[in-house]
Amino acid sequence: MIHAKNLAAALFAGILFGLGLSVAQMIDPAKVVNFLDIFGTWDPSLAFVMGGGLLVNAIATPLIMKRGSPVLAEFFRVPAKNQVDRRIVIGGVLFGAGWGIAGYCPGPMITSLSFIDGNILTIFLAYVVGTLGAKFGIAKYEDFKHQKHLANEACVG
């Protein structure tokens, strides 16, 4: 029963999110690129999308976290890590470049699959490949670091 409620909640949240992206017209890559084009034809609208989302969340998040636990789960699974590292910057640069080239970040890209369009399918498949490749790469790298750590310990021992 809890499981069904959980899935219903996730479905509701997904639909609301997809509707929000659509109403905000963030699903239109031309609008996104115009937002990013301050020195050309600038469309400041998307600053209001972020502002609206941030405002609601900045008020709601602390109130929700005060509860101690979520309604349908045992605990909040919010990233504990707060420090800035190299990954954040390298990832941000790569993602920003991709976002600027085509005007698609992951949310609007997935929501736009509803248009059943060849171009969207193309960028979506590339996004899947990129995600999978990076996940494998990171797993391999962590494994390598772990092995090196073990080897070092063996030498010391």
Partner 1 sequence: MEIINFTPLSATLGGALIGLSAAFLLLVKGRVAGISGIFGGIVYPEKGDVSWRVVFIAGLIIGGFLYQWLGTGVGVDHIEAVTGTPWLIAAGLLVGVGTTIGTGCTSGHGICGLARRSPRSLVATITFMATAFVTVYIVRHLVTGA
* Site residues (CB under 8 A) for partner 1, limited to 2-31: 6-7, 9-31
CA 139 remoteness from chain centre: 19
Give CA–CA dist 79/61, Å, rounded: 14
The residues in 104-133 that bind partner 1, with binding defined as CB under 8 A, are 104-107, 109-115, 117, 119-120, 122-133
Closest approach of partner 1 to the CB of residue 150, in Å? 24
Helix (H) or strand (E) holding 84: none
Neighbours of 32 (CB within 10 A): 23
Q: By rule CB under 8 A, what string of x and - marks binding of each residue 62-101 to partner 1?
A: --xx-x-xxxxx-xxxxx-xxxxx-xxxxxxxxxxxxxxx
The CA-atom distances, in angstroms, between 85 and each of 88, 92, 134, 141 are 6, 11, 17, 16
CB of 142 to partner 1, least distance (A): 12
| CB 110, min distance to partner 1, A | 5
Instruction: Give the C-alpha separation, 97 to 33, whole Å.
Output: 12
Residue placing its CB nearer to partner 1 in the complex, 75 or 155 = 75
Q: Does 55 bind partner 1 (CB under 8 A)?
A: yes
Considering the complex, what minimum distance in angstroms separates the CB of residue 21 from partner 1? 7
**CA gap 86, 133 in Å, rounded:** 19
- Least CB distance to partner 1 at residue 145 (A): 15
Distance of CA 92 to the CA centre of its chain: 11
Residues in region 134-153 near partner 1 by CB under 8 A: 134-136, 138
